[in-house]
């Protein structure tokens, strides 16, 4: 450890609470503590404040309709268009020259889109999609990496009232097919390839493989040419080159389609307890006002800021806080195509310095990697433009929080640790940066208007200082409306644990454990279902298991998350070989291959442990907790309730020896 690090440890280690600097508070979008009470007393009308961030074609009649709870409806009767809110209104207000998207490719090339430029390209692509036959309510799948055509396609869909379903580019062909099938999606926008650590990756091959697995007719595929001559690819009959199509519509104008507030804006698939991904449905009015409101109140974004969220648009963070929230506020949103350590480990800080980034939002896993690489990388750059820092995706350990605070924020920027989910649409638990004391490791109180509680198994609030389950007892505008074409599963997954349907009391259960302190600050501990969080990415252990048992030679498998220094959690596989098959490197390779093929590199197993048996209770349930402890190197608890306690030491010995 360097002297400077020792110094930081000594000075910051003890400090448990941090106040936002006066200079920040003075300029903060929200700095009046009374906002919590104001929202509470004036609920649900308080949410008009979120709706007011948007421009409506038709005013809404009611803020909230709860007649058919938990199928809540927000801003009913209102009409609006999301792309008009993110583009046209800024142009009409004379801010067309403001930069909307500042894109940087991995190889260093840049593309700058002003609001004028972005509107123009969105209209051209909307005209293209319409010409291909895309109509209101058709689901368009976007399988694109971090290139400007992704937000352009999203906004073009929104303009037409066609919901998009973005599939993370790192997902496998199988994952693409599953999502297109589930959404009956007949249109795909993808690209030839993209760069990763300087290498050109073939993406169209994966897209084509996925298309082969789609069980209905796909009418058109639009292919963005990202790599030029670098990658030869041919297009089949229903596949079109993006540039060729758009060129035909140069200068086209497409009127934004007025959508009902409750009309679907997009679908986003996420992992759950079962093997089948859930199609989370978000709407136009509630989602967009919530994304805009939280961008304003929590990220403190203003139109003249340069703001950078380093997530991938393929996840909800990128939807809400690279595209919809920031653009609704008319700010400059930075978009980076590549990896944080390419070509060097200072790439992020180079981008911050070059663009004078004011606000930076990233994930704890990235911060832990920066920390491991060392403070010398940020030190090479002038980061003084930064005013606010944020984190999202998983719990942040206090050490990483303090490193971020000191080495990136120079002890001058508040940090917002924002807890939320794909399903919540936007942030739910975090301090407001101009108001709240920050406590490293604890996200903070629920946002104004959000009724977050920590309860015991019976649904009673726990006393402060205790741990329990996180619930949300009142609806909010950004909430998912249902799981696509599966209302039953929606109720079962989120509303069955703590609700009392007989008395029409509905409680949302996010499947997270948490504890609460005397000040009402919530520390989120992690998932209590079979979902693990690898580098801030949500993975269903069942999904991974079903990929593994599909591998020839594997009889049974259990997948758990084990602690990992940088990733937070990593995938550990315990597998039983089928009779007649040998465990060993070859089978291990095929297990890994099976996971990559069915999900993608994000789910790549850290370790595959072969065992003749899995630890099971007398009733035959796999003791996952025990497998987690083994993977994490924790002390093992009582194994006496097992049917086969002897197996535990065998497995543990194997993990140790690796």
Contact 407, 367 (CB under 8 A): no
Cα–Cα distance for residue pair 291/425, rounded to 1 Å = 7
Residue 70 vs 395, nearer CB to ligand WT7: 395
Figure out which of the listed residues 77, 343, 398, 526 binds ligand WT7, where binding follows CB under 6 A.
Answer: 526
294 lies in the site for ligand WT7, by CB under 6 A: no
- Using CA of residue 524, residue 49, residue 479, residue 139, what is the dihedral sign? negative
In the bound state with ligand WT7, the residue whose beta carbon lies nearer, of 151 and 510, is 510
**Which token pair is 217?**
């007719």
Q: How far is the CB of 374 from ligand WT7 (least distance, A)?
A: 25
- Cα(234)–Cα(457) distance, integer angstroms: 57
The answer to whether residue 420 forms part of the interface with ligand WT7 (CB under 6 A) is yes
Measured distance CA(226)–CA(245) in Å, rounded: 15
Nearer to ligand WT7, 21 or 513 (CB): 513
Tell which one of 208, 362, 418, 442 touches ligand WT7 (CB under 6 A).
418
Q: How far is CA 455 from CA 101, 431, 475, in A?
A: 42, 21, 17
CA distance 572 to 628: 8
**Smallest distance from ligand WT7 to CB 610, Å:** 30
Tell how strand 239-241 and strand 512-516 pair up.
unpaired
List 182, 270, 306, 442, residue binding ligand WT7 (CB under 6 A): 270
Alpha-carbon distances, residue 178 vs 303, 367, 571, 603, 610 (angstroms): 39, 33, 22, 17, 29
**What 3-state DSSP class applies to 168?**
coil
The answer to whether residue 171 forms part of the interface with ligand WT7 (CB under 6 A) is: no
Stretch that binds ligand WT7, among 27-35, 49-57, 461-469, 526-534 (CB under 6 A): 526-534
* Sole window of 93-101, 322-330, 418-426, 546-554 interacting with ligand WT7 (rule: CB under 6 A): 418-426
Question: Can residue 422 be called a binding residue for ligand WT7 (CB under 6 A)?
Answer: yes
For residues 188 and 180, give the distance between their C-alpha atoms in angstroms, rounded to a whole number. Answer: 9
In whole angstroms, what is the distance from residue 604 CA to residue 534 CA? 10
Question: Which region holds residue 163: left if phi is over 0, alpha if psi is between -120 and 50, else beta?
Answer: beta
Tokens 């909800």 belong to 316
Minimum CB distance to ligand WT7 smaller for 222 or for 427: 427
Among 524, 587, 603, 608, which residue sits at the site for ligand WT7 (rule: CB under 6 A)?
Answer: 524
Among 102, 512, 569, 629, binds ligand WT7 (CB under 6 A): 512
Instruction: Specify the stretch interacting with ligand WT7 by CB under 6 A; choose among 156-164, 293-301, 523-531, 602-610.
Output: 523-531
Interatomic CA distance for residues 241 and 243, integer angstroms: 6
Q: Please name the residues in contact with 301: beta carbons below 8 A apart, sequence gap of 6 or more.
A: 29, 295, 307, 325, 326, 329, 331, 359
Residue 83 near residue 155, CB atoms below 8 Å: yes
Strand partners, 110: 104
Binding string, residues 441-470; x marks residues near ligand WT7 by CB under 6 A? --x---------------------------
Is-contact 179 143, C-beta < 8 A? Answer: no
Min CB(531)–ligand WT7 separation in Å = 8
Residue of 87, 177, 316, 413 interacting with ligand WT7 (CB under 6 A): 316
At residue 270, the 3 state secondary structure works out as: strand
To ligand WT7, the closest distance from the beta carbon of 554 in angstroms equals: 27
Q: Whole-number minimum distance, CB 511 to ligand WT7, in Å?
A: 6
DSSP state of 201: E
Q: x-or-dash pattern for ligand WT7, window 349-388, by CB under 6 A? A: ----------------------------------------
| From 510, 561, 594, 600, residue interacting with ligand WT7 (rule: CB under 6 A) | 510
Give the interface size with ligand WT7 as a residue count (CB under 6 A). Answer: 21
Piece in contact with ligand WT7 (CB under 6 A), picked from 243-251, 497-505, 524-532, 629-637: 524-532
Least CB distance from residue 390 to ligand WT7, whole Å?
9
At 433 the three-state DSSP class reads: coil
Answer yes or no whether residue 310 interacts with ligand WT7 by CB under 6 A.
no
- Binding to ligand WT7 (CB under 6 A) within 386-415 occurs at 392-395
Q: How far is the CB of 539 from ligand WT7 (least distance, A)?
A: 9
Identify which of residues 56 and 171 has a Cβ nearer to ligand WT7 in the complex.
Answer: 171
Q: CB of 180 within 8 A of CB of 188?
A: yes
Residues 531 to 550 in contact with ligand WT7, rule: CB under 6 A? 533, 538
CB of 424 closer than 8 Å to CB of 567: no
Q: Which is nearer to ligand WT7, 388 or 551 (CB)?
A: 388
| Of positions 102, 120, 124, 417, contacts ligand WT7 by CB under 6 A | 417
Distance CA 179, CA 315 (A): 14
- Residue numbers at the binding site for ligand WT7 (CB under 6 A): 270, 316-317, 392-395, 417-422, 443, 510, 512, 524, 526-527, 533, 538
């Amino acid at each position: 450890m360097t002297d400077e690090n020792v110094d930081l440890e000594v000075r910051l280690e003890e400090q448990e609470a941090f106040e936002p600097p006066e200079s920040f508070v003075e300029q903060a979008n929200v700095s009046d503590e009374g906002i919590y009470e104001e929202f509470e007393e004036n609920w649900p009308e308080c949410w008009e404040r979120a709706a007011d961030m948007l421009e409506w074609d038709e005013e809404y009649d009611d803020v909230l309709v709860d007649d058919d709870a938990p199928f809540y409806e927000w801003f009913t009767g209102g009409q609006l268009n999301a792309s008009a809110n993110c583009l046209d209104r800024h142009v009409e207000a004379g801010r067309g020259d403001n930069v909307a998207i500042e894109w940087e490719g991995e190889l260093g090339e840049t593309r700058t889109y002003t609001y004028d430029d972005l509107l123009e390209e969105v209209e051209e692509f909307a005209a293209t999609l319409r010409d291909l036959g895309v109509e209101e309510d058709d689901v368009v799948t976007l399988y694109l990496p971090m290139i400007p055509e992704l937000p352009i396609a999203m906004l073009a869909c929104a303009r037409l009232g066609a919901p998009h379903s973005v599939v993370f580019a790192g997902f496998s062909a199988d994952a693409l097919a599953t999502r297109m099938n589930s959404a009956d999606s007949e249109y795909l926008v993808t690209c030839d390839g993209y760069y990763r650590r300087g290498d050109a990756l073939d993406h169209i091959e994966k897209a084509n493989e996925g298309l082969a697995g789609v069980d209905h007719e796909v009418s058109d595929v639009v292919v963005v040419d990202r790599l030029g001559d670098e990658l030869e690819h041919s297009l089949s009959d229903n596949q079109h080159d993006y540039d060729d199509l758009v060129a035909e519509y140069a200068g086209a104008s497409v009127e934004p389609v007025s959508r009902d507030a409750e009309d679907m804006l997009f679908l986003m698939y996420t992992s759950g307890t079962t093997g089948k991904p859930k199609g989370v449905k978000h709407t136009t009015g509630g989602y967009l006002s919530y994304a805009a409101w939280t961008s304003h109140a929590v990220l403190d974004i203003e139109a003249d800021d340069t703001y950078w969220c380093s997530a991938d648009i393929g996840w909800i963070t990128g939807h809400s806080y690279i595209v919809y929230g920031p653009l609704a506020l008319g700010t400059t949103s930075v978009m980076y195509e590549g990896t944080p350590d390419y070509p060097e480990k200072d790439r992020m800080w180079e981008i911050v310095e070059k663009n004078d980034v004011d606000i930076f939002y990233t994930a704890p896993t990235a911060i832990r990697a920066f920390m491991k690489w060392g403070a010398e990388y940020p030190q090479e750059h002038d980061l003084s433009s930064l005013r606010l820092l944020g984190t999202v995706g998983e719990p942040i350990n206090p050490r990483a929080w303090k490193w971020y605070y000191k080495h990136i924020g120079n002890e001058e920027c508040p940090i917002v640790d924002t807890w939320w989910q794909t399903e919540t649409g936007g942030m739910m638990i975090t301090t407001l940066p101009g108001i709240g004391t920050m406590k490293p490791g604890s996200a903070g109180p629920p946002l104004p208007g959000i009724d977050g509680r920590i309860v015991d198994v019976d649904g009673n609030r726990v006393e402060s200082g205790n741990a329990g389950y996180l619930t949300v007892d009142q609806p909010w505008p950004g909430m998912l409306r249902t799981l696509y074409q599966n209302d039953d599963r929606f109720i079962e997954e989120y509303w069955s644990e703590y609700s009392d349907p007989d008395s029409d009391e509905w409680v949302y259960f996010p499947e997270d454990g948490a504890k609460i302190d005397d000040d009402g600050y919530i520390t989120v501990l992690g998932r209590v279902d079979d979902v693990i969080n690898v580098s801030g990415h949500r993975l269903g252990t069942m999904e991974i298991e079903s990929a593994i048992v599909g591998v020839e030679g594997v009889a049974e498998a259990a997948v758990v998350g084990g602690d990992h220094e940088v990733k937070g959690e990593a995938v550990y596989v315990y597998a039983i070989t089928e009779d007649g098959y040998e465990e060993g490197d070859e089978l291990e390779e095929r297990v890994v291959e099976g996971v990559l093929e069915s999900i993608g590199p994000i789910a790549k197993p850290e370790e595959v442990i072969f065992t003749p048996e899995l630890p099971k209770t007398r009733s035959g349930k796999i003791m996952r907790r025990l497998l987690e402890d083994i993977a994490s190197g924790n002390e093992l608890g009582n194994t006496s309730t097992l049917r086969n306690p002897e197996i535990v030491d065998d497995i543990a010995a194997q993990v140790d020896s690796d």
